[in-house]
Structure 1
C-alpha cells in the first residue's frame, strides 16, 4: 500500500463538506475554532480572497487548497476597499450556503469543511503537518486537470442537492486531502510534507518504514535502501521531509502503536515489541513524548497496559491533569503478560497556541466552519 493510502487508513479520517461560500466583494467571514481532533479546510474554485490565521495571511486564487491542522479560528475576506460586509447563511439539507449579507454578486466560490480523525495515529499525522498547509493545485500541470474535473463535479453535486449529496461531497473532500498529502515540494507548494517526496529514493524509505515499523531500521540500513552514503542520505531525508530520520522513525512507530492499541487487547509491552521497541513500554512512552510535543495544557491521549484512553465525549472536560478514559477492552482470548508494566504514553495533540477548545455540550452552540 502506498504511504498516503496507508496513513489515511491509520488516521481514520472522515470528511464533511460544511458550507459553500458565494461571497460578494468586501465581505468578511469569521470561522470559529474547531472541536478537539478536527481540522478545517477550504478549497477555492473561483475568484480570489485572503485567509487570515494566527499572524499569517494566505492569498488564495482558483485551485488553492488550505488545510488548518490545528483547527484554529480564522477569517476569510474578499477583495474590496473596506471588507466589513457580514455574511448571511441559508441552511440546507446537505450543507450551508453562505452569502454576503448585502446581497452583492458573488466574487468567489469557496467550499469549506472539516476533517475528523483518530485520537491516536490521526492526531500524530495532523500534528506533524505544517499549519497551515497551502497547496496551489492550479500551478501544477499534474494536478490542474484533476482539480478542474473535481471542481466541476463538486459544483454539479452541490447544485443538484439530491439523495446522497452529503456522502458524495464528503468523498470528494477526502480526495482533496489525499492530493494534498501526496504533493511534494515544487510548483504546487513550498512546504516540505513528510508524506510526499520528490526523490523516489526517499519515498521508498518512507514507504518501507510505514509498512514495517517494527524492523530494525538503523540509519545505515535505510541509507543502503536509498542507495546513498550515510551522510548524503541524512541530508536528503531532512530536506525532503522536513524532519530528521530519528523523528520520522519515532512518529511512524507511535502511529502504528496507536492503531494496534486502539483496535486490539494487546498490552503496551506486546505492542512495543511489534513496533520496534523490544517489548519496552518505557521506550515507547518516551518516544511518544518526544515525537509529538506541545505545552502541558494540551489534550492528552494515554496508553497503559489496558489499551488506549482518549478524550472524546461532548460533555467531557479534556486536560492534561484529568484525561477522560475511553479504554478499549482487552480481548477475552488474550491475557495480559505477567509482570507487564502499566506505563502511560502521553501523545500531546495539536492545539492552537492560545489554548484548548472543548467540545460543545449537547444543545450548546456548535463550532462553525
Structure 2
C-alpha cells in the first residue's frame, strides 16, 4: 500500500539552497529575520537556545535535531554562558565554508563549545502551502544518530560540484524529512497527516484513501477501514488530522489533479478517472470550484506561468 508521508514529501520536491556548519565559543546571540523557508538544525556539540518567532524557546543539546517547515525569524543564543543583554553576534565565514563566532579560522586546536549543522530548504511544488499544511508545525528529535548522518550528507552534497548534484540533494532531503517526521517527536500534539498516520485507527483510513484516491469513498466506508462507527470516526479524524475526512479527500484529489495536469502527460478525462470522478464534467466543476479555474484553462496556462 502506498505510504502517504512519502507521497506528500515526494510531491513537495525539496531543494537545498543553503547548508552550513556553524561553530561558536563564548557568549553569542545570532538573529535572523530573512529565512522564510524550511529550517533545520542538528546540534553536534554543546547546548544552545533556539527561539523561533511565534513559538516557545527550545533548549537543544548535542544529538538533538529540530525541523520547522515554516520559519520567518529566529534567534540562536548560547547557554554556557548566556549572552549579555543587547549582544548581537555576526558569524565570520572561513575559506572552508564554516561559520564561526568567537574563534578565528586556523585555531583548530581550540574545540568549539557549540557546533551545529544548519540548513534551509525550499519546496519546488506550487502546492507547497497545501502540502505543508498536512505536516507538523515543528519536529524535535532527541538523540537520533541517523539524522546527524543524513544532515551531514546533505551539507556535503550541496557544497560539492558533482554530476547530478541537485537530484542527489533532492533525494537526500526527502529521506531526511521522512526520517525526521516519522521519528517520535514533540510535534505529535499538532493535528495533521503525521499525527493521523500515527493513530492506529485513523492511519488505516488514511492509507486506504491514499492507496485508492479513485474510489468513491464515503465517510462510512472510511470508518469501516478504521474499525469505528461513522460518528466516532468523523469526530476522531477531524480532531487528529485537523479537517473533516471528505475535505481531506477533496484536497488530496485536487493536489493530485494539479500535479498530473502540470506534468503535461495526462488528459483531463484520464485525470478525472484517476482521482475518482465519474464524469469529466463533474471533475471540471469540482476543480474550478476548488482551484478557481477549469482544468483545461489551468493546464493551458502552465507553460506560460512556469
Q: TM range, normalised to the smaller chain?
A: 0.7 to 0.9
The structural deviation recorded for 1:259 is: 1.5
Matches within 5 A, 1:264-279: 264-266=264-266, 271-277=271-277, 278-279=279-280
Write the mapping of 1:104-123 to structure 2, written as runs, cut at 5 A: 106-123=112-129
- Decide whether the 8 Å contact of 2:260 with 2:266 is kept in 1: yes
Matches within 5 A, 1:179-190: 179-183=179-183, 189-190=188-189
1:75-104 superposed Cα distances (whole Å, 9 cap, x missing partner): 2222214162413232557xx422214659
1:305 aligns with 2:304: no
2:107 alignment partner in structure 1? none
Pair 1:148-2:151 in alignment = no
Match for 1:134 among 139, 147, 160?
139
Q: Aligned equivalents of 2:258 and 2:153: distance in 1? A: 39
Q: 2-side partners of 1:180 and 1:219: how far apart?
A: 31
Q: What's the offset of the Cα at 1:175?
A: 2.8
Secondary structure of the 2:98 match is strand
Change (3 A) 1:31 1:91: farther
1:228 matched to 2:228? The reply is yes
Pairing of 1:80-91 with structure 2 (within 5 A):
80-82=82-84, 84-90=87-93
User: Are the structure 2 counterparts of residues 275 and 27 from structure 1 closer, same or farther at C-alpha, using a change threshold of 3 Å?
Assistant: same
Q: Distance in 2 between matches of 1:153 and 1:234?
A: 38
Distance 1:156 1:122, change over 3 A: closer
Describe the shift of the 1:26–1:174 C-alpha distance in structure 2 as closer, same or farther (beyond 3 A). Answer: farther
Please list the CA deviations of residues 172-196 of structure 1 after superposition, one character each: whole Å capped at 9, or x if unmatched: 5443311233246x66743334135
The Cα offsets for residues 38-85 of structure 1, whole Å up to 9 and x where unpaired, read as 422223233332333333233132344333333413222222141624
How far residue 263 of structure 1 moved from its aligned partner, in angstroms, is 0.9
In 2, distance between residues paired with 1:183 and 1:240? Answer: 18
Contact 2:147 2:180 in 1 (8 A): no
1:283 aligns with 2:286: yes
Q: How does 1:163-202 map to 2 (within 5 A)?
A: 173-183=173-183, 189-196=188-195, 197-202=197-202
Could you tell me how far 1:260 is from its partner in structure 2? 0.4
Residue 67 (structure 1) aligns with? 67
1:21 corresponding residue in structure 2 = 22
CA displacement 1:240-274 (0-9 Å, x = unmatched): 32332133212211221122011125455653443
**Could you say what the CA RMSD is over the residues aligned between the two structures, in angstroms?**
3.7
Q: Take 1:45 and 1:302, find their aligned partners in 2: how far apart are those partners?
A: 50
SS in 1 for 2:231: helix
Secondary structure in structure 2 of the residue aligned to 1:113: strand
Q: Aligned residue for 2:251?
A: 251
Listed as ranges, the gaps of 5+ residues in structure 2 are 105-109
Give the distance between the partners of 1:2 and 1:195, measured in 2 at CA: 11
Contact residue 220 and residue 230 of structure 1 kept, 8 A: yes
CA distance in 2, matches of 1:154, 1:253: 32
Deviation, 1:152, is 5.4
Inter-partner Cα distance in structure 2 for 1:285 and 1:8 = 25
Matches of 1:188 and 1:41 in 2, distance apart?
Answer: 14
Q: 3-state SS of the aligned residue for 2:305? A: coil
Q: Which residue of 2 aligns with 1:261?
A: 261
- Aligned-pair CA distance for 1:215: 1.6
CA drift of 1:230 comes to: 0.6
| Residue 202 (structure 1) shift | 1.7
SS in structure 2 at match of 1:214: coil
